[in-house]
Structure formats: structure tokens, C-alpha cells
Amino acid sequence: MKIEKLISEQSRKNIELAIRRVESTTNGEIVPMIVGASDAYAAASWRFAFVFALSSLALFYGFYSHFDFLVYLLLEIPLVFFSLFIVQIPGLKRLFLTKNEIDEEVYQRAVQAFYENKIRHTKDKTGVLLFVSYLEHRAMILADIGINQVVTAGTWDKILTEFLDNLKQNKIEEGFCQAISSCGDILKKHFPAQNTHNELSNKLIIE
């Protein structure tokens, strides 16, 4: 999925500016990231292919029941390939994902991003990953140990709920900016700005 097409250059700049504003008030470091999907979800694609091919053959049989069985068998091949192509439409694939698949893959991808982007490398362990997986309409906030030691469980829940509401309406920029501002309110309370050194990039990471 070409997620880059959904976010204009101006939106990226606005998100970066929102982070700069927040980080001028706190020692916390916020890293925004969005991926098209957390996984290829091959199992979901094949589930759709199975349902689509069988349904199409059943419909075809209803109109043309006089054909030889071999004809229906040969029709199965192009139907499967066609279904594997159209299931790449995000909204369609999302219908064939299970909650467990989504929970597991989004979490694993977010953790991977947390380490790959060196969010654990800040001096005071105050890095925060604001992670979005677009296909699944999921968002996660992963904070380093320095933050998790002082914030209470469920601190990020309201922020994530509001973020997801924006995401489902395709308001990606608004969702990020609002979440960044809300995270900033929490961070500056526990980690007020003591220096101006920027340890992590403010740019939106897109993959």
C-alpha cells in the first residue's frame, strides 16, 4: 500500500512542527510513524480467495449447470488469481482479518519499529513511539522505561481512542497532531524541558 499518497508534504511538515512545539516544553522525545500495514496477512488473502472462488463457481453453476466438471475446475484457477489481486484493496482485506491476527501483528511491528528507530537510545529513557498501522486502523503508543516508571496504566488510552476516531475518518494529520499535543501534556508534567538538545528526529516516518 502506497501510504505516502495519503499524506501530503504539507501534512508531514505540520506533524513535524507539532512535535517541535511539544518538545520545546519537555525532555520527552516523540517519534511519529505510519505504516501501510503491519503484515502481508497471507492467510487472510487465501481466506478471501477461497470464499470468492467458491461463491463465483456456485453462481456460475446456477446459470450454466450443463458444463462438464472439468470446466468448473479450470475456472477455479483464474478466479483464485483474480481474488488474490483484488483482496489487496485495504477495506476488503480488513474484512477478512481476525482480531487476534491484528493484535499480534500490529504489536510486533510497533515493537520492531521502537528498536529499529533507536527510541531506546535517549539519555533519560524518555522516548515515545506514536505508531499507526493504516490497514488495520490501529494505533499504539510505546514509551521507554523512564516514562513508564512514572505514568499510570491506561494513561494513553484516551489519546489512542481519539486518534483512532480521526484515523477511521482518514484524518491522518489531525490525528497525529492531536495525539502529539496530548502526549506532550503528559510528558511536560513529568519531564519538563531542561535542555534544547533534540535526540531523535521529528520527521514522520512512513513505511
Chain position carrying cell 491484528 = 102
Q: How many domains does the chain divide into?
A: 2
Q: For 202, which DSSP code?
A: -
pLDDT of residue 67: 60
Sheet of 127-133: strands edge to edge? 138-143, 127-133, 29-35, 205-206
pLDDT given for residue 64 in this prediction: 63
Q: Using a CB cutoff of 8 Å and minimum separation of 24, what contacts does 64-67 make?
A: none
C-alpha dihedral sign at 125, 29, 203, 132: positive
Confidence of residue 63 (pLDDT cuts 50, 70, 90): low
Contact 167, 175 (CB under 8 A): yes
pLDDT for 4: 84
Q: Are residues 113 and 159 in the same domain?
A: yes
- Look at residue 144 and give its three-state secondary structure: coil
Please list the residues that pair with 192 across neighbouring strands.
26
Give the domain range for residue 86: 42-95
pLDDT at 61: 62
Residue carrying the nine cell digits 470464499: 51
51 & 128 share domain? no
Verify that 113 and 195 share a domain, yes or no.
Answer: yes
Strand partners, 205: 33
Last residue of a domain, one of 76, 95, 114: 95
Short-list 31, 33, 16, CA closest to 147: 31
Place of cell 539519555: 123
Q: What percent of the chain has pLDDT over 90?
A: 63
Q: Within this chain, do residues 161 and 102 fall inside the same structural domain, yes or no?
A: yes
Choose one of 95, 114, 135: the last residue of a domain: 95
**Are 195 and 113 contained in the same domain?**
yes
Whether residue 28 sits in one domain with residue 72: no
The interaxial angle of helices 69-86 and 42-63, nearest 10 deg, is 140
State the pLDDT at residue 79.
73
Residues 113 and 179 reside in one and the same domain: yes
Kindly give the pairing relationship between strand 127-133 and strand 138-143: antiparallel
Report pLDDT digits (tens) over 150-206: 998 788 999 999 999 999 898 999 999 999 999 999 999 999 998 767 899 999 999
